[in-house]
A and B are shown apart, each in its own frame.
Chain A
Amino acid sequence: EAQVTQNPRYLITVTGKKLTVTCSQNMNHEYMSWYRQDPGLGLRQIYYSMNVEVTDKGDVPEGYKVSRKEKRNFPLILESPSPNQTSLYFCASSPRLTSTDTQYFGPGTRLTVL
Chain B
Amino acid sequence: GQQVMQIPQYQHVQEGEDFTTYCNSSTTLSNIQWYKQRPGGHPVFLIQLVKSGEVKKQKRLTFQFGEAKKNSSLHITATQTTDVGTYFCTYNFNKFYFGSGTKLNVKP
B88 pairs with A99, CB closer than 8 A? no
Question: Bound complex: CA of A101 vs CA of B31, how far in Å?
Answer: 10
The total of chain A residues at the interface (CB under 8 A) is: 23
Query: A99 is contacted by which of B1, B30, B44, B45 (Cβ under 8 Å)?
Result: B30
A contact residues around B41 at 8 Å (CB): 107-108
- Decide: A33 near B99, CB < 8 A? Known: A102-B48, A105-B43: no
Q: Count A-B pairs with CB separation below 8 Å.
A: 54
The total of chain B residues at the interface (CB under 8 A) is: 25
- Decide: A97 near B92, CB < 8 A? Known: A102-B33, A105-B43, A105-B44: yes
Question: Bound complex: CA of A106 vs CA of B90, how far in Å?
Answer: 17
Least Cβ–Cβ distance between B17 and chain A, in angstroms: 24
A contact residues around B30 at 8 Å (CB): 99
Question: Bound complex: CA of A19 vs CA of B89, how far in Å?
Answer: 31
- Decide: A90 near B42, CB < 8 A? Known: A42-B98, A45-B96, A102-B33: yes
A42 pairs with B42, CB closer than 8 A? no
Chain A at the B interface: mostly helix, strand, loop or mixed? loop
B contact residues around A40 at 8 Å (CB): 9, 100
B95 pairs with A42, CB closer than 8 A? no
Q: Which residues of A pack against B, CB within 8 Å? A: 33, 40-43, 45, 48, 58-59, 90, 92, 94, 97, 99-108
Q: Which residues of B pack against A, CB within 8 Å? A: 1, 9, 30-31, 33, 35, 41-45, 48, 50, 88, 90-96, 98-101
CB-defined A-B contacts under 8 Å, sample of 9 = A33-B95, A43-B101, A94-B96, A97-B95, A100-B50, A102-B45, A103-B90, A104-B45, A105-B43
